[in-house]
Amino acid sequence: MKTADNASDSEVTWPSAPSGILIMGKRQGTKKENLQLWGRTALAAALWYSAPHPKPYLIFVAADIHGPENTPDGLAVKKLLTQTYGISADFIILRPVSNCTLIEVRAVRVLTKFYRLSQIFALTHLYHAPRAQRYLDEILPNAAVIPVHPEILETINFPPEYKILWDGIEKAVKDSMPGRADRLREQLIETMLNVAHTVDRRGKFERWLARRLRPTAYPKVDRRR
């Protein structure tokens, strides 16, 4: 399966070997509410429950922080997955090292090799999906982007014994949909970064821009966690 120009085009065929679901981070624009990240996490939970054994790993590598207490997004995502959605921490991989999409993709390539994952499914919103798929194609050609959208939920065969979780998942995905102004802003940013990547494949500009736009958002990471 490839991306994602259209939400209804996406179907998931699970591999027989262990795979990974990458929950992509959210860094600007609608970051204040963090609804897009909560929607991506909710879809990850829905896919995890619908997947056969062996269950996929849930991966989060963004190093963003959020809120007045500067809570690392990784800790918030892990709390949602374990406490709200009831997923065992044994299936969660946190490596908060990324401050942009390019580093995110490179980090997951390392994790794919380390954990011997057969395939990666990356979750992000539609405006971001083409660029994310472009980066993945360059280094992980077997990876696929799944867009976060209510229509995707309609394709998921969610187990009835966990139906109590479904309403919360559905609400989080619906609430995460960006409005018209947000979509226009995000599309402008995506166009700029796509052009930049065409002339700068190593991503120096993208990494520099991430540090300039939010210089205090990425604390030094304690990798012993």
> Which tens digit of pLDDT belongs to each residue from 37-96?
999 999 999 999 999 999 999 999 998 887 778 888 999 999 999 999 999 999 999 999
pLDDT-derived band at 114 (thresholds 50, 70, 90) equals very high
Share of the chain above pLDDT 90, in %: 59
Q: Quick check: is 218 in a domain?
A: no
Q: Quick check: is 62 in a domain?
A: yes
Q: Is the pLDDT of residue 222 over 70?
A: no
Q: Quick check: is 38 in a domain?
A: yes
pLDDT of 138-190, one tens digit each?
A: 999 889 999 999 999 999 999 999 999 999 999 999 999 998 888 888 888 88
Assign residue 196 the CATH number of its domain. Answer: 3.40.50.620
Retrieve residue 177's tokens: 């949909």
Q: How far apart are CA 181 and CA 178, in angstroms?
A: 8
Q: Quick check: is 6 in a domain?
A: no
pLDDT-derived band at 6 (thresholds 50, 70, 90) equals low
Range of the domain at 128: 16-213
Q: Quick check: is 219 in a domain?
A: no
- Select from 1, 19, 3, 2 the least CA-distant residue to 129: 3
User: What does R_g of the chain's alpha carbons equal in angstroms?
Assistant: 16
**112 vs 195, more confident:** 112
Q: Quick check: is 105 in a domain?
A: yes
Number of domains making up the chain: 1
Cα 84 to chain centroid distance, Å, stands at 18
Q: What angle do CA 62, 124, 96 make, to 5 degrees?
A: 10
pLDDT-derived band at 31 (thresholds 50, 70, 90) equals low
pLDDT of 57-70, one tens digit each?
A: 999 999 888 777 88
Exposure of 21 by Cβ count < 10 A (0-12 exposed, 13-18 middle, 19+ buried)? buried
Q: Quick check: is 154 in a domain?
A: yes
pLDDT at position 192 is 84
Q: Quick check: is 4 in a domain?
A: no
Q: Is the pLDDT of residue 206 over 80?
A: no
Retrieve residue 210's tokens: 């991430």
